[in-house]
Copies of this chain bind each other. A is one copy, B any other.
Amino acid sequence: MNRLSASTSICHYTATDIFVREKNLCKDLIGSTSLTDFLYFLIMGVSPTDAQRAIVEASLITIAEHGLTPSVIAARLTYMGAPESLQGAVAAGLLGVGDQFVGTIEQVAPLLVEIADSPSSSEVAARAIVTRYRAAHKLVPGFGQPHHKPDDPRSPALFAVGDQHQVNGKYVAALRSLGAAVDEAMGRHLTINAPAAMASLFLEIGIPLRIMRGFVLIGRCIGLVGHLAEEQSSPAGRVLWDAAAHAIEFVG
């Protein structure tokens, strides 16, 4: 095996200073920057524009909380069994933030790139995608929301933030075209859901597909800490357990 080597550009330190990328943590960042600016800089390697900051901040707030999700229930039950380890309960909750939970973002984004890059009009490209999914007997990802009708209220809120900062280019347009094609094919209106809206806005501001899930995890981490703080003062774990266990019938 050849001698391997690797490097990092994120952080290094001396006896007296800590550097996060090219900035001095204690002189340039602590007390001088917002949390959103900091996390964007840390992850992306550059400071955000106003538009990038606004989209990331709005997206993390959007994704942080949606009540007693499976991920929150898992975290609360874990905390009940292992109260010595708050980190274990947060970790258990994050482990459910996977292909089903945030997959929509990752599945929608390539479709929007496909439409935006298509030599055809976006209407034609969108209809082609819908036809392809229907031929495969699959639903186009990003549309419909079981709890919110007729529209997921988070999507227009996110788009409004985008409009305020001129983040409403070809990927948002592609999503609207895709939504129109879906509605046309279904013969009824399906909402653009929040993950789809986030996918379009993340593409607009240049966040790579592969790290979109990372931003979602930060948002969800905040929500999980909130729920676990409540679990500490007002435990619900036993009720969650009891109700869940009794809902499943044993069949020998």
Main SS of chain A's interface residues?
helix
A5 is contacted by which of B25, B99, B148, B249 (Cβ under 8 Å)?
B249
Chain B positions within 8 Å of A11 at CB level: 65-67, 250
A97 is contacted by which of B62, B82, B148, B153 (Cβ under 8 Å)?
B82
CA distance A250 to B213 in the complex (A): 26
> B218 touching A25 by the CB < 8 A rule?
no
Once A67-B10, A99-B83 are accepted as A-B contacts, the answer to whether A34 and B35 lie under 8 Å apart by CB is yes
A8 is contacted by which of B7, B18, B68 (Cβ under 8 Å)?
B68
> B54 touching A81 by the CB < 8 A rule?
no
Show 21 A/B contacts (Cβ-Cβ < 8 Å), sorted by A: A4-B238, A6-B238, A8-B234, A10-B65, A13-B67, A16-B148, A18-B65, A25-B157, A30-B154, A30-B157, A35-B36, A44-B229, A68-B245, A74-B75, A78-B95, A82-B99, A87-B217, A92-B92, A218-B222, A242-B247, A243-B246
Q: Hey, which bits of chain A sit against chain B, CB under 8 A? A: 1, 4-13, 15-22, 25-27, 29-31, 33-36, 38-39, 42-44, 54, 57-58, 60-62, 64-71, 73-75, 77-78, 80-92, 94-101, 146-149, 151, 153-154, 156-158, 160-161, 164, 210-211, 213-215, 217-218, 221-223, 225-230, 232, 234-252
